[in-house]
Amino acid sequence: MRSIARVSLLVALLDVLLVSRASAAATQGPPSPHTSTAQPPLPPMTTTTPPPATAPLVTTPGPAPPTPPTDSTPAYAPTSLQVAAASPGDRYGVAVPPRRGAWGEGSTLVRRDARIGVYIGPTFKLTGVGGSPGLLLGADFGVLLGERFVLGAAGSALVTPLAIRRDDGRTLNMRSQYAGVTLRVALVRVKFFTLGIGSLIGGGRACLNDERLDRCVNRAAMFVAEPELSLTFAVTRVLRLVLSGGYRVAVAQAWSGPADRQLSGLTGTLGFQLGKF
């Protein structure tokens, strides 16, 4: 009986050892795919950033520097000719404007935006009549268009009586005055200097005055054309000095005084122009 009891005790101890080993192996081994509980995955490992090679720039606190202005205009802006539609004469991507015909719209001598000035001033003119020198005093008025064209009026009168021998042998004093429209064109303009040409076209009269009677005993109407070459100097903004030289062509009606050749002659003029230029 005692031997049987000992054998059964040994068998029970072996069973307990086997069961304990089986449970330990089950806890240490990989989980079975048939188990219902799943363990949560491990979190990913964080990578550490290496320190910078250079030390960071440390600035003292203060106002931020001004931001430079940015130009919104593109570096290359196409012109109106380049934006226009391409034409058969395009070269290098630039459109060539179409040619105008011979009878196109054309242009004007004076533009719409040209400056317009006006002036008036005295003139002192030296001339010769019948071989004798004389002085003519006059006035000049003009409208200046774009510093290039002048349209105006001028007149002169002989202030030094000239002794003229009449056909009958008597010597009388001749007086003369004439006026007309003027047209001048500036040829060269350099700073304050202007070189131009112009002409006066008009008429007047010549008179032989008897000093004893103090009246004109013989008179004649005449046509006058006086081309000239002028030099203009801008002294100030409102004053200009004019030096000009020309030739007076006079054609008088039949009378007993000097002939047309004697009434004509060279002229030299000193003038002043006062106005808005």
CB 134 within 8 A of CB 128: yes
Counting the structural domains of the chain, the total is: 1
Question: Is 223 inside a domain boundary?
Answer: yes
Partnered with residue 42 across adjacent β-strands are none
Q: Whole-angstrom Cα distance, residue 172 to residue 133?
A: 16
Residues 214-241, mean pLDDT to the nearest whole number: 93
Q: Does residue 274 sit within a domain?
A: no
In a domain, 220, yes or no: yes
The residue segments making up the domain with residue 196 are 116-262
Q: DSSP letter at 5?
A: H
> Is residue 191 very low, low, confident or very high in pLDDT (cuts 50, 70, 90)?
confident
1 or 277: which leads in pLDDT:
277
Note whether residue 248 is domain-resident.
Answer: yes
User: For 125-164, what is each residue's pLDDT tens digit?
Assistant: 999 887 789 999 999 999 999 889 999 999 999 998 888 8
User: To the nearest whole number, what is the mean pLDDT of the chain?
Assistant: 78
Inside any domain, residue 110: no
φ and ψ at 92, to 5 degrees? 60, 30
Average pLDDT over residues 176-194: 94
Could you give the CA distance from residue 133 to residue 265 in angstroms, rounded to a whole number?
10
Q: What angle do CA 109, 113, 118 make, to 5 degrees?
A: 80
* Banded model confidence at residue 17, pLDDT cuts 50, 70, 90: confident
pTM above 0.75, yes or no: no
User: Does 187 map to a domain?
Assistant: yes
Domain CATH for 169? 2.40.160
| Amino acid 247: pLDDT | 96
pLDDT in tens, 59-110: 555 555 566 555 555 555 555 545 445 555 555 555 656 665 555 555 666 6
Note whether residue 122 is domain-resident: yes
In a domain, 73, yes or no: no
Does the structure show a pLDDT above 80 at 235?
yes
Q: For residue 165, what are the contacts with CB-CB under 8 A and spacing of at least 6?
A: 171
Q: Would you place residue 35 in the very low, low, confident or very high pLDDT band (cuts 50, 70, 90)?
A: very low
